[in-house]
Structures are given as C-alpha cells and as structure tokens.
Amino acid sequence: MTDDDAPTRSTERLFRIAITLKGLDGAFQLIGALVLAFIPATAVTGLANAVITRDLLGDPNGTLARHLELAAEHFAGGGTKTFAIGYLLAHGLIKLLLVWALARKWLRAYPVAMLILAAFVVYELYRAVQTGSIALPFFAALDALIIVLVFREYRALKHAHA
C-alpha cells in the first residue's frame, strides 16, 4: 500500500459509514411509517401540546415551540398523516434498496443512487420552503454530502475496473 492509497481508503471508509447511516435511516423510516399508521393524529397533537406546555423546548411562545405546534397541527389536519406514511414508506424502501446495491458495489446503481438522492435534495428543499421546516435543509445537506461520497466511490470503482 502506498501513501496515495490513504485518501482512497479514507474516502471508502466515509462512504461505508454514509451508506450504513442511510440504511439505518431507511429502516427507521419504515418503522416510523408503520408506527404512524397505527397512532391517531390526536396522540401526536397531544404529545406536542405536552412538550410545549411543560417548557421542554424552552419558552412556550418561542420559535421551537411554534414550529412544533404548527407541525402537529398540519399533521392532524388534512392528508398530512397519509402523506407522511407514504413518504416514509417510499423513502425508506428506496434507501434500503440503494444501500443494498451500493454495498454490493453494483456499478450501475451508483448513477441511479446519485439521481435519486439529488431528487430527494430538491424535494427536501422544496418542502422546507413550503412548510418552514428547520430539519429538512439539514437532511438535504446530508444527502448532498452522500452524493459526493457516492460519486467519489463510483469514480474509484470505475478506475479500478479500467
């Protein structure tokens, strides 16, 4: 092994960590979707109200409390619960399938993974602007970082196969 291999090994290690975290995230999303399917929307609003009234987020009139209250209200009303369940199921399944293909170093999966993750980034940013979410831009940034890692791993694999 040469000194030139160290950055490649480091990148591959980061890539492995990133796809492992994505896989766990996908599994948690599937579990979350199943849990949401069986929890009534009133339980979510009740929990949010309890958190806010007990000052667990600081000032009950503060920014975090308002965001939580607004999110709970949106969840309870309209089709947000159905949307959340569908989104979590689809997102979780797609992530698990991509992680499975990338872990097996299936070369054709890399461009597909980058495109799908880019679509997630665009959608997460769109929903963040639409809903005022403070978490979605963070998740979009993580997905963007994973796109970079997937690209670097793809390039290294193509170079190794050439």
In this prediction, residue 57 carries a pLDDT of 60
In terms of average pLDDT, the best of 60-64, 70-74, 89-93 is: 89-93
In this prediction, residue 45 carries a pLDDT of 76
Confidence check: pLDDT of 64 > 90: no
Mean pLDDT of 60-70: 73
pLDDT band of 99, cuts 50, 70, 90: very high
* CB burial readout 74-96, b (16+ within 10 A) else e: ebbeeebbeebbebbbebbebbb
Structure-block tokens of residue 6: 């160290």
Is the whole-model pTM more than 0.85? no
In this prediction, residue 51 carries a pLDDT of 73
Confidence check: pLDDT of 113 > 90: yes
In this prediction, residue 122 carries a pLDDT of 96
Pairwise CA distance, residues 39 & 60, whole Å: 25
Pairwise CA distance, residues 67 & 97, whole Å: 32
Pairwise CA distance, residues 19 & 17, whole Å: 6
pLDDT band of 132, cuts 50, 70, 90: confident
In the chain, what percentage of residues exceed pLDDT 90?
36
Pairwise CA distance, residues 151 & 146, whole Å: 8
- Tell me which of 29-33, 49-53, 156-160 is least confident: 49-53
Confidence check: pLDDT of 98 > 80: yes
In this prediction, residue 36 carries a pLDDT of 84
| CA diameter of the chain | 62
Confidence check: pLDDT of 4 > 60: no
